[in-house]
Amino acid sequence: MTFSPATIEQNCLLPNSADTPGQRHTEAQTHRGTHTHRGKDTPRQRHTEAQTHRGTDTDRGTHTHTHRGKDTPEAHAHRGTHTPRHRHTETQIHGVTDTRRHRHTEAQTHRGTDTPRHRHTEAHTHTRGKDTPEARAHRGTHTRSHRHTEAQTHRGTGTPSGMMAIPDPPCVVTSPDCPPASTPSSPGPPASTPSTPGPPASIPSSPGPPASMMALPDPPCVVTSPDCPPLGLKSLRVDDSQFQASSYLRMGLGPHRARLNIQSGIEDGDMYDGAWCAKYEDQHQWLQVDALRPTLFTGVILQGRNSIWSWDWVETYKVQLSNDSETWKTCMNGTEEAVFVGSRNEPETPYLALFPQPAVARWIRINPQTWYWNGTICLRAEVLGCPLPDNLDFRHHNYKEMRKLMKAVNEECPRITRIYTIGKSYTGLKLYVMEISDNPGKHELGEPEFRYVAGMHGNEVVGRELVLNLMQYICREFRRGNPRIVRLVTTTRIHLLPSMNPDGYETAFEKGSELAGWALGRYSYEWVDMNHNFPDLNNIMWDAKENDTDMVKTANHYIPIPEYYTKEDAFVTPETRAVISWMQDIPFVLSANLHGGELVVTYPFDCTRDWAPQENTPTADDSFFRWLATVYASTNLVMANPDRRICHSEDFQQHNNIINGGAWHTVPGSMNDFSYMHTNCFEVTVELSCDKFPHASELPTEWENNKESLLVYMEQVHRGIKGVVRDKMTKKGIADAIVKVEDLDHDIRSAADGDYWRLLNPGEYKVTVWAEGYFPSMRRCNVGTEARPTICDFILIKTPRQRMNEILAKGGRLPQDLQLKLRALRLRKLRASTKAINQRRKHSRKARGTRQRLQTD
């Protein structure tokens, strides 16, 4: 990221010290000879150091050196061969081979081993005579492990104190590649908090930086490594719950208002003031931000309070970091605590302060030290930081390794996870599901059910690995207390099926990512494409609507499985049967089917009418399906990249990376269509990557590309309306009540406990609920733009017996939910045929095993 020097300035207030130990580039120092200066030694130029050397020197920079006599800037005496490998290499004298691998290496004289590990190593002189403030005597081994090491006197091994080390996790930081900054000729004292009202001594009344502040080079230093982005305080990516403060004046000036550029209302004192303001005026106040994960923090941007009535800002501050929110370490500048300059003379300009040494932590605190003398402690901020990569198991997992990983996650988070199976593949491999919930194993009233299904095509492996990574990530972030993950787990029951086609995956896995080809492992063991193996309910519904004159009575949901599909000789894979049965057992609300080989999200209907090869075939909920597809595609880092190339031959960017399934190509018998028409569940297909089976080295990138998409898509399960349908007399929930939304020709049903969920876009809806044996009930429900549902409960009154007798006496029929009864009957037949088939296959496998043992003997 690039900050304009016109609006953002870079400041660091240096500690008061004679030799200014925290500056980037060390003053000129004397080496085994005479160091001549005209007056006081305070260099203002960028790289100018007069040094006396005995040995080899080949200067390619802009440095003036004196060698055993008079020298001029244009003439240098050299002995031997010297090959510099950096821009401004200082002269060095070594008794061994000189290898410079950093950018600005100061002159050094050694009689032993010296291992520089920082960017700008101070010059050290090993002399036999008098020591000076600029030159210290060293004997033995000296190891510098921090960025700006001060000259120190040692007899033995010297390890100077540097920037704080944040424990667990360790981090190796590449220092910013930035030219050295010059220093003021006369460093002034650091600013301090005034004991009585009035301006601090070090903050001038006229515009301009205080005397003790580091002089900015011209042009300003632009840090390019590490180039860490904003954490997201300004953009609202950081949630209000991630802020804390030592105190605050009132709710309108709470810590959640400490966002860069946030604007206040017209009136002070309301809920929308323009900053965080501390309740007390002392140096113990702080603003804290939780990054939710280990982050490499590199800097802070500060502003004052936005207000037309008040004039408040922070002038200097310290920064503290923590990995547990209890133990804090202050950002150091050499051996001193770093003090950073904030706002100057007005509250609106943002000021950037880069840390002397980037550091890894999870929590960061801004600790004001001084503030405007006629105001109070108020600030708006942004934090710069690079979130560290998730430490997940990035590799391809075969069946055994998948089971081990799922077991490890369950052992790590036993309170919120449960592993169960929904059936077996043709070869007997179990279809494992990981459930994640705050109450695993139980459907909770009002809590929606969500599922991810991966590996329907066994060779499309990215979805499988993403689902495995997702269960690891949710487990670890829940334990860390990540508010977003905690909220998701406590309000949603999540089901993750990583491998619907384990037989196909094992076939592809044996060949590997490069040798499996385009189709090996795609199909089941019986050579069936499972995404064409579900019952085709689309044409059943369309035929019924064409033949039925009373469109009101035509079913638009919960369509029963056709009779032929329930027979034992039906060509239905055991995996498909298992998933259908799974759909019946759990009242899923939202799902996604993860595929590979393209970069696009498709939504129902997948099957076209009249068997057209390509035709846009929308559902009654087309607008919401488009929203679901857009949510995933727009947050996917690859799909959202306008400069990406097409995968193969089709450019889906012209459709914003989403497309109706039928408009792409017709797919009769898809899981998406079946889920929508046979159950309450809305489902889309996500094509995750151009490469179906990428190399394991690409899996971390795939995770980063899809992590946010996977999370934000799950959160959509909370859109629309939800509620409970109850009996007025007993107060118990009514199962299978029909929930009908006016102008949407697709109904849903209540679950066994009477709770229901209807996914809807924002708007006002007229909703009618009806159940067999009850009078219908109607009410209006408003859906907001927030990702949380509107509660719409219904109370139904039973039809009185007298009214029933009157209907029967007139020869009429009581209304019956025949569709529901037929659906239940067909499901029982399907399960019975599946059981019979599985028993035959089990006996067949045993017989084959016996024959193989006999042949071996």
Residues 86, 92: Cα–Cα separation, whole Å? 13
The angle at the Cα of 60, spanning 56 to 66, to the nearest 5 degrees, equals 55
- Per-state percent for the chain, helix, strand, coil, to nearest 5: 25, 20, 55
What does the buried/exposed string (b/e) look like for 250-259 if buried means 16 or more CB atoms within 10 Å of the residue's CB?
Answer: eebbbbbbbb
Q: Residues with Cβ < 8 Å from 159, sequence gap 6 or more?
A: 143, 145
Helix (H, G, I), strand (E, B) or coil at 467: helix
687 belongs to the catalytic site: yes
> Which runs of E-coded beta strand occur in 185-333?
243-245, 276-277, 287-303, 314-322, 329-330, 332-333
Are 749 and 740 in contact by the 8 Å Cβ rule? The answer is no
Question: How far, CA to CA in Å, does 355 sit from each of 163, 298, 334, 631?
Answer: 10, 6, 11, 36
How far does Cα 297 stand from its chain's mean position? 16
Residue from 122, 687, 702, 715 carrying the catalytic annotation: 687
Query: Taking CA 587 as the corner, what is the angle to CA 581 and CA 591, rounded to the nearest 5 degrees?
Result: 85
The residue with tokens 């004159």 is 549
CA dist 493 and 445 (Å) reads 11
What SS3 state is found at 422? strand
Phi, psi (degrees; rounded to nearest 5) at 29: -135, 155
Collapsing DSSP to helix, strand or coil, 385 comes out as: strand
In the chain the first and final C-alpha atoms are separated, in Å, by 71
CA dist 4 and 371 (Å) reads 25
The rounded distance, in Å, linking the Cα atoms of 516 and 523 is 13
**Pair of tokens at residue 366:** 């801004």
* Angle, helices 462-480/699-715, rounded to nearest 10 degrees: 70
Contact by Cβ (8 Å): 513, 519: no
Residues marked active site are found at 687
